[in-house]
Chain A
Amino acid sequence: MNLRRVKSIDELAQNVPPPRDLWPAISAAIEAEKAAQAPGAQRRPRWLPAAGMAAAIALVAVGVFIGRSLGPVKFIETAGTREAAANVLPAALRDANYRKERDVLLVEVQHKLNDMPAAERTKVAASLATLRRSIGEIEAALGSDPANALLQELLVNSCQEEMRALTAVRDSGNQET
């Protein structure tokens, strides 16, 4: 081994060749990365979160629709049960019904809020905003984990709870006697 004290930078070698040709391995790695990024070759397709969200929204629509419209119905095993199941509305229509019902409720609730004293209006509006924010948080979590059963259950229940709370505010103060 040749040991020599280096006194200045200029004494160092300007070019140190590698002991072997590294390019073939680098080229192979680049090609492998290109192949992995090619359409259809990703391990997790980009459309998966969107599809998950769509599935979650459809699930919410189904849950809310069943909770509000079909909830009290007792299903008794009869010959007509299968026929009735076959007549269930398409998911898209249920989703539209849910959105329509919610939009109508929101308008009515806004009227009710406008009639409330300021302090009460602030308190109730904050609670409704909390519900909406919670639903947003669950949807965001579902975006990264669309198949999570806990999140799906929480989303359905939260949407149903929002509808119940909106209905309670809309109906508040109605004299029944």
Chain B
Amino acid sequence: MSIPKSYLCAGLLVALPLLACAGESGSIDRRIAVEPGGEVIISNVSGSIDVRGWDRNEVQVTGHLGEDVERLDLTTSGGRTIVKVVLPRGSSNDGDAEISVQVPKNCSVEVSAVSADVSSQGVLGTQRLKSVSGEITADISGDDSEVRSVSGDLTVRGTGKPISLRANSVSGSLDLTNGAGKLDVVTVSGDARVQMGETSEVRGRTTSGDLELRAKLTRDGRVDVEGVSGEITLRLVAPGGLSTEIESFSGDIEGCLAGSVERVSKYGPGTRLNLRTVEGGGARVRAKTLSGDIDICDH
């Protein structure tokens, strides 16, 4: 049976736009050469993003794009590589994409997600990872790094190398292990558990979540933590001694240094602990709460 050419042409004219609208769903495997030491910017609304550092000067994206995803953009220019899962205009954030991105291990990485979970391993450069409700699990070794979420939980592993790290969550929790250097941690209602090696500076704030910090402070180390109703637990090793300025309006001050706790006033509420374990210096610890308890020990 022969089909008239005019029918074939008409059929192609109808089919091509439909194919274009159908998008780039299904498995993907794309690769692009990039400049060493550049920046890779990754965004995906929903699904997952898994970032891995490798020894090649290439970015490779593999994974699966859901039916509602329009396409995957992978471009590079001037040391800036963009990996972007594009949803159709007016989409209501339903397009799932599960992507794994291999990046040069010395590059810096910036990841933006909405509900997508984010994980990262083997990247040595600066990382800026943020998600609204997705969880973030990352190995961080680059200086000036940041992990941020609104309601997603944050799990961060350091390498023990001193870096500067900011971790911020509204209602998600933070679990940081093997950190070192400088840390700025903020949560509103999520709990924060922080375990650090050699630590020069920690700034922490929680509203109703609990904050637990275990760290070995340098001789001129600084810890400045504040809570409203959340409890603060400090286990601080300070070879150069410790100087504390701790006060709670209505919470208790406990722990192995609590023997020196005094009342702020004879009749009103409030306790404080101002002491020096070594004369003439040492690491400084400042902790304040409204009603949360403060538990401090220097070992």
**Which residues of A line the B interface, CB within 8 A?**
116-117, 120, 123-124, 126-128, 130-131, 134, 137-138, 141, 145, 148, 150-151, 153-154, 157-158, 161, 164-165, 168-169, 172-173, 175-177
Q: Could you say which residues of chain B place their CB within 8 Å of the CB of A130?
A: 188-189, 207-208
Tell whether, in the assembled complex, residue B288 and residue A153 are in contact, meaning their CB atoms are under 8 Å apart: yes
Tell whether, in the assembled complex, residue A124 and residue B151 are in contact, meaning their CB atoms are under 8 Å apart: yes
Q: Does B202 contact A (CB under 8 A)?
A: no
Tell whether, in the assembled complex, residue A134 and residue B208 are in contact, meaning their CB atoms are under 8 Å apart: yes
Q: Could you say which residues of chain A place their CB within 8 Å of the CB of B115?
A: 117, 120
Whole-angstrom distance between the alpha carbons of A145 and B112 in the complex? 45
**Which residues of B line the A interface, CB within 8 A?**
41, 43, 45, 82, 84, 93, 112, 114-115, 132-133, 148, 150-151, 168, 170-171, 186, 188-190, 205, 207-208, 226, 228-229, 247, 249-250, 268, 270, 288, 290-291
Tell whether, in the assembled complex, residue A154 and residue B171 are in contact, meaning their CB atoms are under 8 Å apart: no
Q: Could you say which residues of chain A place their CB within 8 Å of the CB of B247?
A: 150
Q: For A127, give the chain B residue with the smallest CB separation.
A: B171
Tell whether, in the assembled complex, residue B171 and residue A134 are in contact, meaning their CB atoms are under 8 Å apart: no
Chain A min CB distance to B66 (Å): 17
Chain B min CB distance to A105 (Å): 14
Of B43, B188, B291, which is within 8 A of A131 by CB? B188
Q: Could you say which residues of chain A place their CB within 8 Å of the CB of B45?
A: 173, 175
Of A117, A126, A151, A168, which is within 8 A of B290 by CB? A151
Contact of A127 with B290 at beta-carbon distance under 8 Å, contacts A154-B226, A158-B207, A172-B150 already known: no
Tell whether, in the assembled complex, residue A161 and residue B186 are in contact, meaning their CB atoms are under 8 Å apart: yes
Q: Could you say which residues of chain B place their CB within 8 Å of the CB of A175?
A: 43, 45, 84, 112
Known: A141-B290, A154-B290. 6 other contacts (CB 8 A): A120-B133, A124-B151, A131-B207, A138-B228, A164-B186, A173-B132
Of A127, A168, A176, which is within 8 A of B148 by CB? A168
Q: Could you say which residues of chain B place their CB within 8 Å of the CB of A169?
A: 150, 170
Chain A min CB distance to B172 (Å): 9
Tell whether, in the assembled complex, residue B207 and residue A168 are in contact, meaning their CB atoms are under 8 Å apart: no
Q: Could you say which residues of chain B place their CB within 8 Å of the CB of A126?
A: 171, 189
Q: Could you say which residues of chain A place their CB within 8 Å of the CB of B133?
A: 116-117, 120
Tell whether, in the assembled complex, residue A176 and residue B112 are in contact, meaning their CB atoms are under 8 Å apart: yes
Whole-angstrom distance between the alpha carbons of A126 and B266 in the complex? 37
Whole-angstrom distance between the alpha carbons of A168 and B133 in the complex? 12
Q: Could you say which residues of chain B place their CB within 8 Å of the CB of A134?
A: 207-208, 228-229, 290
Tell whether, in the assembled complex, residue A176 and residue B43 are in contact, meaning their CB atoms are under 8 Å apart: yes
Contact of A161 with B229 at beta-carbon distance under 8 Å, contacts A123-B151, A148-B249, A177-B112 already known: no
Whole-angstrom distance between the alpha carbons of A127 and B229 in the complex? 13
Of B151, B168, B171, B270, which is within 8 A of A150 by CB? B270
Contact of A137 with B189 at beta-carbon distance under 8 Å, contacts A157-B205, A158-B207, A177-B82 already known: no
Among A116, A127, A130, the one with the most B-chain Cβ atoms within 10 Å of its Cβ is: A127
Q: List 29 A-B contacts (CB under 8 A).
A: A120-B115, A120-B151, A123-B151, A124-B150, A124-B170, A124-B171, A126-B171, A127-B207, A128-B170, A130-B188, A134-B228, A150-B247, A154-B226, A154-B249, A154-B290, A158-B207, A158-B228, A161-B205, A164-B186, A168-B148, A168-B168, A169-B170, A172-B114, A172-B132, A173-B114, A173-B132, A175-B84, A177-B82, A177-B84
Chain A min CB distance to B127 (Å): 15
Chain A min CB distance to B234 (Å): 18
Tell whether, in the assembled complex, residue A145 and residue B170 are in contact, meaning their CB atoms are under 8 Å apart: no
